[in-house]
Chain A
């Protein structure tokens, strides 16, 4: 038996023994996701147990080096772990922008001191991070951002405003893009800096969205003092870090297109519209829509798997995450349009217990942001056209 097969057998046995049954059920609400952080509370005992067991194995970040709190798994082993977790429906033990976004950027651009300081706390779920990128006048044109960081001895003094900061009101630290050279060309005067959200002068204000939820905030900086040692990468070269991190963000968001909702869409639809005598959905047009969706979803799962394998083989294009982001988010929007159509009248209730507080329409509305956040679909297509297809003047 090969080492990898051995690893698969051991992993499966360990997961069987250690993943509580409650953590193998599809997530149904926000509180099923554990985000960690200074003020984190577990929604249930199984959630705590599962998180702690995975953390102790380094499997909140299976592919990070062991010295930074990771599992030290090789890419092929990491794939096996993902496959085995998916096969039993095991939930992710820890969700975190630190894991998905900041971590990879620190591993590539951070100093040894920065890695030692921050990565283990991300892996252990001790610090919850948020991302300070967009500003009111810097959305798709992110590099036009205006938040200033002015030199004052060993520190920067930061002033400005961010917007669409996910969960800023719950976050402990922020990784933030600031302008350190206002005279340089727009891409060349930006730095990537880390600071504590508890610093004097930081305030947040949640934004009420069409879903009725407030996952995003406005974040204000009023003379926030941050040590210069908190810059990641070179001063004024923050755009390199930002772009690298965006690739990971896009890969993360594109995953929304793969994530099942537990029950297959066809069965969810059958619950609402019923089936005919031969077991077919009793709405022929809806049935075709679901089937077309299932085909594209299965194909997208294949390309997601292939993208990882190509990266391992050193054959992937760095801009391919933009292609994935585009397709994954459009797919997710389609899924929720079908769910709304399948639910019909029942999917329109907003508050009742019967509708779990309008979970379906709120989720549907939330997905409309998928193709905006982290770069709009139009920006993604522009990147593919320019960087992969090499079309002129894009």
Chain B
């Protein structure tokens, strides 16, 4: 398959870009932050997303979605990255939709997927527990209890956890921390007794929560996939999330870079445009090259997820690692080349730096994925 977008994918990009740049430029994020908005995103915009079919993009057609692929999800994420629009797209339309579509029973799919597709259900994935993303270290304790289970433990960095109508929670039903065996995914009602949700205001003004589970009762039919065998389903869903976040980082990097190059062409010092200085030209050229390479690696990962899902791990780790380091460089160069202006809150560039930092941590940073790749390659 050619490593370029198809005509349909380009049209999807244009339609996403049109909506997002019109309704949710960076000032949209800024005003949500400054007004300390309780939701942290616009429900009206999410409705508009649903009407355009974006919320059901990964939902199979027989459950009311459009049954598109991960390349298409990445196309939308990239546009979100350009304006840093806070949106449940990642948590609900990408992560929850694919977890349900890949691991759900028919009853679970029928119960939730159509609501995700029409935009009426928001969902969140609760995985991380420690300071770093280590899914196999999942230690939320699960005990058998009557006909079901009882959950005890805590989750952090639950994206959109504060508004979720449905939580997908990774717990340990067996095995020891560090083992793939013994992981199970549960569908949990956030209003259930024993669930305590603390919205965490984050550096990037996007939405996340810490959630505590104290003796939370879950029915047996709310297990997503197989008991003890959730590691594979979870690994697959995380790879989808990694591809999506890597796409967001590509959009973010390209936007920061575009703004920075424009500045190099208008800012004068020593009687010259600063873009005439070779010291800056070469750094700009290196960054451009890095972004183009990362874009190719991310598209490769998404195409591999669509075409050969079970063998996409290496391509996904390459993409997420590259996207993290490229975006880190892009935002640092962006602030540096904007000089003092880049340090001001009034200027948008800082928002990109903050979001890039959060995206680095989401689903494993560049170091994590370098280590994963080394393991996959046997060294």
**Chain A contact residues, CB within 8 Å of chain B:** 264, 266-267, 269-270, 275, 279-281, 287-288, 290-292, 294-296, 298-300, 302-303, 305-306, 309-310, 312-313, 315, 320, 323, 326-327, 378, 380-382, 384-386, 388-394
Is B379 touching A281 in the complex (CB atoms < 8 A)?
A: yes
* Contact A303/B273 with A385-B282, A391-B261 known, Cβ cut-off 8 Å: no
Is B3 touching A302 in the complex (CB atoms < 8 A)?
A: yes
Q: Judge if B297 is at the interface, Cβ distance under 8 Å.
A: yes
CA A166 to CA B275, docked complex, whole Å = 36
CA A310 to CA B318, docked complex, whole Å = 21
Looking at B23-31, B83-91, B283-291, B344-352, the stretch in contact with chain A turns out to be B283-291
Is A378 touching B282 in the complex (CB atoms < 8 A)?
A: yes
Interface string of B313-325 (1 = CB under 8 A from A): 0110111011000
Q: Judge if B131 is at the interface, Cβ distance under 8 Å.
A: no
Q: Judge if B252 is at the interface, Cβ distance under 8 Å.
A: no
Looking at B187-195, B357-365, B366-374, the stretch in contact with chain A turns out to be B366-374
Q: Chain A residues near B275: list those with CB within 8 A.
A: 391-393
Is B276 touching A312 in the complex (CB atoms < 8 A)?
A: no
Q: Judge if B2 is at the interface, Cβ distance under 8 Å.
A: yes
Closest Cβ of chain A to B369, distance in Å, is: 8
From 241 to 289 in chain B, residues with beta carbon under 8 angstroms from any chain A beta carbon are: 261, 264-265, 272-273, 275-276, 278, 281-282, 284-286, 288-289
CA A386 to CA B288, docked complex, whole Å = 12
7 closest residue pairs by CB, A with B: A266-B379, A299-B297, A393-B276, A385-B281, A384-B285, A303-B296, A302-B296
Interface string of B1-45 (1 = CB under 8 A from A): 011100000000000000000000000000000000000000000
Q: Chain B residues near A310: list those with CB within 8 A.
A: 4
Q: Chain B residues near A393: list those with CB within 8 A.
A: 272-273, 275-276
Is B4 touching A266 in the complex (CB atoms < 8 A)?
A: no
* Contact A302/B284 with A266-B374, A290-B379, A326-B289 known, Cβ cut-off 8 Å: no
Closest Cβ of chain B to A17, distance in Å, is: 27
Q: Judge if B377 is at the interface, Cβ distance under 8 Å.
A: yes
Is A302 touching B282 in the complex (CB atoms < 8 A)?
A: no
CA A389 to CA B265, docked complex, whole Å = 10
- 7 residue pairs A–B, Cβ–Cβ below 8 Å: A292-B370, A295-B321, A295-B369, A298-B315, A299-B318, A309-B3, A326-B286
CA A276 to CA B265, docked complex, whole Å = 52
A305's nearest neighbour on chain B, judged by CB, is B3
Q: Judge if B112 is at the interface, Cβ distance under 8 Å.
A: no
Is A389 touching B370 in the complex (CB atoms < 8 A)?
A: no
Q: Judge if B293 is at the interface, Cβ distance under 8 Å.
A: yes
Q: Chain B residues near A382: list those with CB within 8 A.
A: 278, 281-282, 285
CA A384 to CA B278, docked complex, whole Å = 12
Q: Judge if B92 is at the interface, Cβ distance under 8 Å.
A: no
B contacts with A: majority SS = helix
CA A13 to CA B124, docked complex, whole Å = 49
Q: Chain B residues near A300: list those with CB within 8 A.
A: 293
Is B276 touching A391 in the complex (CB atoms < 8 A)?
A: yes
Is B273 touching A389 in the complex (CB atoms < 8 A)?
A: no
Is B370 touching A295 in the complex (CB atoms < 8 A)?
A: yes
Q: Judge if B173 is at the interface, Cβ distance under 8 Å.
A: no
Q: Chain A residues near B265: list those with CB within 8 A.
A: 390-392
Is A294 touching B297 in the complex (CB atoms < 8 A)?
A: no
Is A302 touching B379 in the complex (CB atoms < 8 A)?
A: no
Q: Judge if B210 is at the interface, Cβ distance under 8 Å.
A: no
CA A312 to CA B276, docked complex, whole Å = 33
Q: Chain B residues near A288: list those with CB within 8 A.
A: 367, 370
Q: Chain A residues near B289: list those with CB within 8 A.
A: 323, 326-327, 384
Is B4 touching A309 in the complex (CB atoms < 8 A)?
A: yes
Of B261, B292, B374, which contacts A291 at CB under 8 A?
A: B374
CA A97 to CA B32, docked complex, whole Å = 60
Q: Chain A residues near B294: list those with CB within 8 A.
A: 299
Q: Chain B residues near A392: list those with CB within 8 A.
A: 265, 273, 275-276
Is B370 touching A291 in the complex (CB atoms < 8 A)?
A: yes
Q: Chain B residues near A267: list those with CB within 8 A.
A: 378-379
From 300 to 358 in chain B, residues with beta carbon under 8 angstroms from any chain A beta carbon are: 300, 314-315, 317-319, 321-322
CA A300 to CA B326, docked complex, whole Å = 13
Closest Cβ of chain B to A373, distance in Å, is: 19
Of B4, B261, B293, B377, which contacts A327 at CB under 8 A?
A: B293
Q: Chain B residues near A305: list those with CB within 8 A.
A: 3, 296, 300
Q: Chain A residues near B97: list those with CB within 8 A.
A: none
Q: Chain A residues near B370: list those with CB within 8 A.
A: 288, 291-292, 295
CA A325 to CA B2, docked complex, whole Å = 22
CA A392 to CA B277, docked complex, whole Å = 9
CA A291 to CA B372, docked complex, whole Å = 9
Q: Chain B residues near A303: list those with CB within 8 A.
A: 292-293, 295-297
Is B281 touching A294 in the complex (CB atoms < 8 A)?
A: no
CA A389 to CA B300, docked complex, whole Å = 25
Closest Cβ of chain B to A371, distance in Å, is: 13
Of B285, B288, B379, which contacts A275 at CB under 8 A?
A: B379
CA A390 to CA B281, docked complex, whole Å = 10
B319's nearest neighbour on chain A, judged by CB, is A299
Looking at A294, A305, A315, the one whose CB has the most chain B CB atoms below 10 A away is A294
Q: Judge if B73 is at the interface, Cβ distance under 8 Å.
A: no
Q: Judge if B299 is at the interface, Cβ distance under 8 Å.
A: yes
Is B4 touching A306 in the complex (CB atoms < 8 A)?
A: yes
Is A381 touching B281 in the complex (CB atoms < 8 A)?
A: yes
Closest Cβ of chain A to B187, distance in Å, is: 35
CA A381 to CA B285, docked complex, whole Å = 6
Q: Chain A residues near B273: list those with CB within 8 A.
A: 392-393
